[in-house]
Structure 1
Amino acid sequence: MLAYVLKRLLLMVPTLLGVLLITFAVVQFVPGGPVEQYLAEARAGTGGGSAEGGGFSYRGGQGVDPKRIEQIKALYGFDKPAHERFFQMLGQFARFDLGKSFFQNKPVSQLIIEKLPVSISLGLWTFFISYLVAVPLGVAKAVRAGSRFDLLTTLLVLVGYAIPGFVLGVVLLVVFGGQLQWFPLRGLTSGNWDELSWGARIVDYLWHITLPVTAMVLGSFAVTAMLTKNAFLEEIRKQYVVTARAKGLGERQVLWKHVFRNALIPIITGFPAAFIGAFFTGSLLIETLFSLDGLGLLSYESVIRRDYPVVLGTLYLFTLIGLVTKLISDLCYVWVDPRVKFD
């Protein structure tokens, strides 16, 4: 086990380097970098930002004083060769220094912390509601396999899975937010949040989060529900279940004491990835649609504005968390089922 863990940890290093190298190389050829945006804003009289570092080679600025361009490139750190900037970035990431935003003049880590509560709200509600609905539904479908209930719920689950979350979000906004006006159209809380009591704050928060969570949940529990059903059906047909029934055990005892533990192995081992992912995989379209300022919207705006420290910093952090979470998920197989051997 120790050798397996060490091997996986060592393999994370080239994986991280590969992801960062490919992304860094791609952004070298993307037009409209921060220097160009700075010059465009300067021409429009709106000023510009200031920061250090970056990953873009400027190739524009015709008609502008070359000395001025060189000063701006030096301001963003683009006066250095690409390979030197890449290794400088790796040195910062090794110290868990994610850099500083070009346009918001804040450390990337601070931006992530500021946006994290919104993504946590969406992700955790989606995670818990999805599993609380999907697992009992999957068990019920397995017990009643082939019945009308099974066919009807399968149809509903697949329809919900086929409808994109942002399309459902638009429908919910138009019907319940616009026509009926039962729910707010934007934001996570009301403007008078600070003036409300704790009870009123909870109600206000739940009132705002209902529509976006509904849009995300309806399509997210389909895979878990069908996986639970198939896992239970596979276990129900095994010999130990027939033996338990032959010994006179009741159906409920057979199902929940014997089948349930073994059937939930693939579900439980997916908990770490799903739980950690709830913090960092907020839906971009849902956040934009409901005007929720979370990590998804931060990533999108960073790409649009070519804010490369934010793009590369968040990519590094999320990739590292994803690799560690995947390792934890694999180790959960041994914790849940000691018969699993990685060698």
Structure 2
Amino acid sequence: MRDYFIRRFLLIFPTFVGATLVVFFITRITPGGPMEKTMQMAMMNEKGGSKNAGASLSEEQLAELSAYYGFDKPFLQAYGIWLGVWPREETPQFVPFGKGVKEAPVSLKVLLPREKWTPTNAYKVTPATLTSDGKLTTADPADLEGWKTRAEPDKKRVVLYRPAFKGVLQGYFHLSTSYNQPVLEMMLSKMPVSIFYGLISFILSYIVCVPLGVLKAIKHRTVIDNATSVLIFIGYSIPGFLLGSLLVVYLAARHGWFPTEGFTGENFASLGFFGKVWDIVHHAILPLTCYMIGSFAFLTMLMKNNLMDNLAADYVRTAIAKGASFRRAVVGHALRNSLIPIATTLGSITMIFVAGSMLIERIFQIDGIGLLTIQSIYDRDYPLVMGILTIDVLLIMLGNILSDYFVALTDPRVRFE
């Protein structure tokens, strides 16, 4: 079993690369990205406007914009920079060289030794000279450490930059192109809301569905079984986002029984402890109903069908024939074996960190991962899209491994060779 799980963990990296590589390629070819948005804003700000979106930007500005968003590199190199296996060009300077110009003054931002740091500054600015062939000189050669140049004769310029491995493998998810904030900080700020809804939905689903499935199996083809089946499948047939729209219109907007949006109310900070608890619960009732309605049918029927199969098995009939009561046969023999398929779904607990439906959070205006995801897609915020995808892929793969572990823990007959 140990070797099996080692192999599964070793497969995480190639699977992760394959998934992110496909989405990264899509972001490179999809029109309407951050560069187009910036050029459109520049066009709108240009007095009189223009039909050409890039008309108000010079070639140097377009080049700097392309480098800032990482579109000046070939596809695989850009992906390597995002992943952190290829050095990115930090603080690039694009120095143009006109006809006959051989040298140009530049400024280098040099990190001071730690003992010379001040509360407001840890850098010094050093003047330097850059030649058209990429040679950099300064009064103190030590200031040149870490700086590199790249001559681009076809564009009549030299790029001055500091190479650094700074990507996902180093824990850096880049900056959001829409909000200019670190992607990781934005995701972490939304996780408490997602964890709340994900954890509550996860717990309530198992607390309700497992006992209900047992009851339906024992009361098979009775009024209880038929009535609950009708209700379950009606709920399963209604999409969560559609139910959310109906609940918002009728129970929240028309009758005012529940809030129409948000995770908490506007006066949340002024409430006492129990008032805050009730405010969160009051806001969460409708969204939680939409989150759980789809999983109820799956988990309940999975539990019922597996328990019925085990109740019809020979070992249960043998236990009853030897004098065991029906209750003991169910609880002591059939129930444990029936929980084995349920264990395969326990790995989904890893997804509570990014739980959330984009449409449901959009309807209820819940400021969680789901709303952040749909907003990042609308804004063509590629670093944010890739950051959320990265976390999703890793959690899904870890959840699958965790499901295998729960199966092996529940069923001693399972051996992973």
TM-score strictly above 0.5 = yes
Alignment-derived partner of residue 12 in structure 1? 12
CA displacement at 1:33 relative to structure 2: 0.8
Residue 77 of structure 1: CA displacement? 2.7
Q: Which amino acid aligns with 1:319?
A: V
Which of 80, 84, 108 is 2:77 aligned to? 84
Counterparts of 1:281 and 1:222, CA distance in 2: 19
Question: For residues 86-144 of structure 1, what are the alpha-carbon distances to aligned partners after superposition, in whole Å with 9 as ceiling and x for unaligned?
Answer: 11111112222222211212211111111112212221222122212211111111111
In the TM superposition, 1:132-151 aligns within 5 A as: 132-151=207-226
Paired residue for 1:225?
A: 300
**Counterpart Cα distance in 1 of 2:53 and 2:22:** 23
Q: 1:296 aligns with which of 357, 364, 370?
A: 370
Letter in structure 2 aligned against 1:217 = M
What's 2:28 paired with? 28
> Which residue number corresponds to residue 229 of structure 2?
154
What residue in structure 2 maps to residue 245 of structure 1? 320
Is the 8 Å Cα contact of residues 191 and 353 (structure 2) preserved in structure 1? yes
Structure 2 distance, partners of 1:61, 1:29, is 19
What is the rounded CA distance, in whole Å, between the counterparts of 2:44 and 2:400 in structure 1? 48
Counterpart check, 1:166 vs 2:241: yes
Could you tell me which runs of 5 or more consecutive residues in structure 2 were left unpaired when the two chains were aligned: 47-51, 85-166
For residue 280 of structure 2, what is the aligned residue in structure 1? 205
2:387 maps to: 313
> 1:61 & 1:45 partners in 2: Cα distance?
12
Q: Once structures 1 and 2 are overlaid, which stretch shifts more, 178-187 or 62-71?
A: 62-71
- Write the distance in 2 (CA, Å) between the matches of 1:308 and 1:99: 10
* Farther-moved stretch of structure 1 (202-211 vs 129-138): 129-138
The code of the aligned residue for 2:191 comes to L
Report the RMSD for the aligned CA atoms in angstroms.
1.8
State the structure with bigger RCO (CA 8 A, min sep 6), 1 or 2: 1
When residues 120 and 74 of structure 1 are mapped into structure 2, their CA distance, relative to the original with a 3 A threshold, is: same
- The separation in 2 between residues aligned to 1:74 and 1:14, in whole angstroms, is 28
Name the residue aligned to 1:177.
Answer: 252
Once residues 333 and 223 of structure 1 are traced to their aligned partners in structure 2, the CA distance between those partners, rounded to angstroms, is: 18
Q: Which residue number in structure 2 is paired with residue 123 of structure 1?
A: 198
Give 1:55's aligned residue: none
Looking at structure 1, the residues matched to 27 and 408 of structure 2 have their Cα atoms a distance apart, in angstroms, of: 41
For residues 181-239 of structure 1, give each alpha carbon's deviation from its aligned partner in whole angstroms, at most 9, with x where no partner exists.
01111111111111111011001110111111112222221100000001101110111
Which structure has the highest helix share of the two? 1
Quick check: 2:42–2:56 contact (8 Å CA) kept in 1? Answer: no
Amino acid in structure 1 at the alignment position of 2:278: V
Q: Does 1:113 align with 2:183?
A: no
Residue 286 (structure 1) aligned with residue 354 (structure 2): no
In the alignment, which of 67, 70, 73 is matched to residue 66 of structure 2? Answer: 73
Distance 1:244 1:272 in 2: 32
Q: Aligned AA for 1:172?
A: L
Task: Tell me, yes or no, if structure 1 residue 99 matches structure 2 residue 165.
Answer: no
Normalised by the length of structure 2, the TM-score is 0.76
1:51 maps to which residue?
Answer: none
CA distance in 2, matches of 1:203, 1:64: 54
Q: Aligned partner of 1:294: which letter? A: G
Alpha-carbon separation, structure 1, partners of 2:45 and 2:57: 15
* C-alpha deviation, 1:60, in angstroms: 6.8
The match for 1:194 among 269, 274, 288 is 269
Q: Structure 2 counterpart of 1:328, which letter?
A: L
Higher strand share: 2
What stretches of structure 1 of length at least 5 have no aligned partner? 47-58
Contact kept, 8 Å, 2:197 with 2:355, in 1: the verdict is no
- Residue 399 of structure 2 aligns with which residue? 325
Q: 160-169 or 63-72: which moved more?
A: 63-72
**Length-normalised TM-score, structure 1:** 0.92
Amino acid across the alignment from 1:332: F
State the alpha-carbon separation in 1 of the partners of residues 189 and 246 from structure 2.
Answer: 29
Counterparts of 1:66 and 1:152, CA distance in 2: 70
What is residue 415 of structure 2 aligned with on the other side? 341
Shift of 1:331: 1.6
Q: 1:96 & 1:239 partners in 2: Cα distance?
A: 54
- One-letter amino acid of the structure 2 residue matched with residue 66 of structure 1: E
Query: 1:235 corresponds to which letter in structure 2?
Result: N
Deviations along 1:43-100, one digit per CA (max 9) or x if unpaired, are 3349xxxxxxxxxxxx973564322211221222322222221111111122222222
Structure 2 equivalent of residue 277 of structure 1: 351
* Counterparts of 2:307 and 2:257, CA distance in 1: 40
1:258 corresponds to which letter in structure 2? H
Q: Are the aligned partners of 2:198 and 2:351 in contact in 1 as well (CA < 8 Å)?
A: yes
1:144-184: CA deviation from partner (whole Å, max 9, x where unpaired): 11223222222211110010011111111111101210111
AA aligned to 1:202 is V
